[in-house]
Structure 1
Amino acid sequence: MDQVVMEGSVMLKRGIAICICAILAACSAPQSEPQPLTGDWTLVPESSQIAFVSIKAGNVGEAHSFKTESGVVDGTGKAEISIDLSSVDTAVDIRDERMREFLFQVDQFPSATITAQIDPETMKTLDIGEQQIASTELSLSLHGIEADFDSDLAVTRISENRVLVETTKPVIIDATQFALGDGLEKLRELAELPSISPAVPVTATLIFARNDK
């Protein structure tokens, strides 16, 4: 019995020694560095969302979004996002139809475009899980009118070849600035509401994948 116990103890010690050596080897092995954030990127639409809030009757807020977006970021950091306005989703079919027809007038203005310039030098050294805030000017083309807005974008590297770009706070769009006032009034009349605010908070959560990866 003593011999068996002794042999078992020796085997256990050898097993522990082997595990320790394996752990030390793994810890000391050189870790591969993630590649710099360079090249061209394409929006991943199924993982991205542009949302906005409408405010009616003075204090009733409702969240909406668009189902279809596309976009790219080139090697210079220029970003361009296209929004299919006919894909507006308010969770109420008749309201979606009215927005398409009377507010956005998608037969004449089928899409909106957002462009921005992000400095690629400040982003390319991001490690996976690291975030950088980029102050930039967003240009929105909507209903045949273009306007600029200052915004802070949070850029997070979520994997080797994917980045997450988010607005750090809502961008407030004035609908009347884009000649949408008459459309808002028509929506108000149809819904028999006392008011619909022209001030619209907009947020974006966008994921981009590096091309050819």
Structure 2
Amino acid sequence: MLVTSGMSYADWDLDQTDSQLHFMSVKSTSIAELHTFKTITGSLSDSGKAELVIDLNSVNTNIPIRDERMQAMLFDTVNFPLAKLAADVDIIAVKALETGQTITQDVELKLDLHGQTQTFPAQLQVTALESGKLMVATTAPVVIKAEDFNLVEGVNALRDVAGLPSITLAVPVTATLFFNP
């Protein structure tokens, strides 16, 4: 097993192939569905600035017409094509990790979505992998509320067009992200 003497990399870029960002919606009171975004980019800088950019046009619900409706009616991707997430991590602790070691960090996530910006507390688990790679994962879902981002009208429009009695106005979001040096 490769063991390093701590990280010495300047910046890390998001591995788009292996990274995953999921959110779950609940419709009709009890039907839970898992969704993802196919296109996310990001980086972690040498100063500890983590940034993630989510292409909202890449929403993937496994139902193409629902993807299109979410893009148009919920996210309004013509006007707001991207969501941006930022956080500051303790880069000294990250760089001190040996291959295979994991640390947990409490961070404030800043989310810019649909023209609104909110912050959320989150706990992240950071693991040093071989060749200087990092895995960063949420330890618990981060709950995003539609009302915080002016998305309630969009959720209601989706509910009406689908003929559903309800769609929850809060969704749990989880992430497992891989960064390459």
Shift of 1:38: 3.8
Q: Whose strand fraction is larger, Structure 1's or Structure 2's?
A: 2
C-alpha separation in 2, matches of 1:35 and 1:167: 22
Are 1:131 and 2:131 an aligned pair? no
Query: What is the match of residue 50 of structure 1?
Result: 21
Shift of 1:37: 4.5
TM-score for both structures, normalised by structure 1: 0.82
What percentage of residue pairs aligned between the two structures are identical?
A: 42
Counterpart amino acid of 2:29?
G
* Residue 84 of structure 1, aligned match among 49, 55, 61: 55
C-alpha separation in 2, matches of 1:132 and 1:58: 37
Counterpart amino acid of 1:199?
A
C-alpha separation in 2, matches of 1:84 and 1:134: 26
Counterpart amino acid of 1:150?
P
C-alpha separation in 2, matches of 1:176 and 1:128: 41
Shift of 1:123: 1.4
Equivalence map 1:103-142=2 (5 Å): 103-142=74-113
Q: Whose helix fraction is larger, Structure 1's or Structure 2's?
A: 1
C-alpha separation in 1, matches of 2:131 and 2:98: 9
Equivalence map 1:12-161=2 (5 Å): 33-161=4-132
Are 1:190 and 2:167 an aligned pair? no
C-alpha separation in 2, matches of 1:124 and 1:201: 30
C-alpha separation in 1, matches of 2:3 and 2:69: 54
**Number of residue-to-residue matches in the alignment:** 180
Instruction: Quote the RMSD (CA, aligned, Å).
Output: 1.2
Structure 2 vs 1, CA of residues 33 and 204 (structure 1 numbering), >3 Å: closer, same or farther?
A: closer
C-alpha separation in 2, matches of 1:193 and 1:33: 54
Question: Deviations along 1:142-179, whole A, 9 cap, x unmatched?
Answer: 00000000000000011122000000000000011100
C-alpha separation in 1, matches of 2:35 and 2:89: 27
Are 1:178 and 2:145 an aligned pair? no
Question: Deviations along 1:3-62, whole A, 9 cap, x unmatched?
Answer: xxxxxxxxxxxxxxxxxxxxxxxxxxxx97444254111001011011100011112110
C-alpha separation in 2, matches of 1:164 and 1:36: 13
TM-score for both structures, normalised by structure 2: 0.96
**Which runs of no fewer than 5 residues in structure 1 stay unpaired?**
1-30
SS state of the match for residue 195, structure 1?
coil
- Are the counterparts in 2 of residues 36 and 126 from structure 1 also a CA contact under 8 Å? yes
**Which runs of no fewer than 5 residues in structure 2 stay unpaired?**
none
Name segments (4+ residues, structure 1) moved above 4 Å: none
Structure 2 vs 1, CA of residues 94 and 130 (structure 1 numbering), >3 Å: closer, same or farther?
A: same
**Structure number with bigger Rg:** 1
